[in-house]
A and B are shown apart, each in its own frame.
Chain A
Amino acid sequence: MDVSPQVIATTLINLPTTAADLVAGNYENLSESERVLLLIRFPRILLALLVGCGLSVSGAVYQGLFRNPLVSPDILGVAAGCTFGATLGLLLPGSDFTLVRICSFIAGLAAVSLALTMAKVVHSSQTVVLVLTGIISGSLFHAFFMILKTVADPYNQLPAIVFWVMGSLSGTSWVDTLQLLPIILGGYACFHLFRFRLNILSLGDSQAKTLGVNPKGLRLFLISVSSLMIAVCVASCGQVSWVGLVIPHIVRTIIGPDHRMLVPCSALLGATFLLLADDIARSAFSSELPLGVITSLVGAPIFAWLLYHNKNRGWT
């Protein structure tokens, strides 16, 4: 559907009254294009910004905490857990989208908790052990997911599962967006407060200790916050690959590894990138493309070019 500039302009002019209508749940007063803009496009835009910000910031934090540029936010099994939960939700009879999201969120947090508990039982504070238990937990939930896929009805349920896994922002409503908003903003605020400490944690545990920072509690807190952020992101729009891994990378090659700049810049770039990717996914072809496909297709060449262009900075 085409939205002309005039329609946008009149919508914006009437925004106070329409906002009042929206809050009151008074959708009858809105024109058709106003409905499209306010009830479909705006929440979707906002969601894209929030998810992009959430994924890339938690990616940046994870890479710092694990001192490894190849770490992506799903290293502790969050994404695998979320995928399993969502699939379970899609298979349950009479399930609506809210239930899918709740299942996804709970299973994602369960996967991380499993990884953290295993690491605690091993009695090791080493990040390597945490990575390994994350892999264990992730593969366990992936196996559950595969089982669900085999029992799913191949004509109705399986395509839904596959499409959900590839990620999409379609069907976003204000309710979803507003649920996501406090968690993403709150999480970002946490990271922003600790952004200098992230530099210290990125040196490793014994260095952090000699510099006067007790790494254990802070790391657990930051991991929990970012897992929460990733869980809500994946639960609301499926697995959007590449953003969490590569946006922090791109930012690091441009401005360096200092988390004081890395955290806010990753948030901005991640949000912008996902918004653009979603625009392309929505409008490039007559039918909507999965978001994960676009993020990879667009992100890969950009990252390759940056890697070449900044040969002597960052990682190379």
Chain B
Amino acid sequence: MNVSIRMIGVATTVFWVFIVIFAVSAMYSMKDVRFEFGEPQVSLTSEGDVLLFMPITVVNTGYYNIKNFNATTLVFDAESTLIVRGSTLVPIIETGMEVATGHNVTFSVADLLQKSERYLFEDVALRAEERIGLWAAEVIPVEARANVSLLWGAPLYNFALGAPQYSAYNVTHMRVEIPIGFENHAFFDLACNISVRMFDDSSSLLGVGATSVEVLQHSAYDGLLAMYVAVPTLETSTSGYFEVSFASSLFSYGPMVIYYG
């Protein structure tokens, strides 16, 4: 019996030594693993989708391989509804290796704008959750999570129509000029057609006008939209409303009602 007891003792001691050495070296090894996250780049794809690209570099100078390195990005809107989820997997990062990879997340602007018109006219703070998962020393699952705020810049921020300015055009018509102003806070240049239908109080159509605007990202637009209105109808109308519609390659929205007078 003593021999078997001693054998159990020897076996457990050997396993304990192995497990302690492995645990300590695995922890020490993680010290030599470096993660570098580059500046996220936002761009538009040819299909008109938003592409978030984040360069990731993993330098593994530890003693053990890293298995299943997985970067996941989840973007939530202001109501905490998931907008997009994207992940990148590197099956194995061997010791002494440097892996440079890119993490791509794509989502459609049209889909986002379908959720709420706020995204067109208001800057909204989106929440992005970054998850990094890996198997340290190929056997220890580790996961890190971080929440970052992602500011969505509205392409038609602070959109407003000014008071219509009337001028004589000919005997039958008057020229109506409507000042348009907004700021493009989006990360893309905006090329958009704006069409305006002018109505009086009794919802009779007075005139129709359209203009094309091209606004660089992070810049303001101030312009005039001209339309021609028959004199007799205009003379009876001092107030009413505009119906404004927007059409671009990324989105279509409208009609939006803005009152005047």
Are these two chains actual partners, yes or no?
no
Interface residues of B (CB under 8 A from A): none
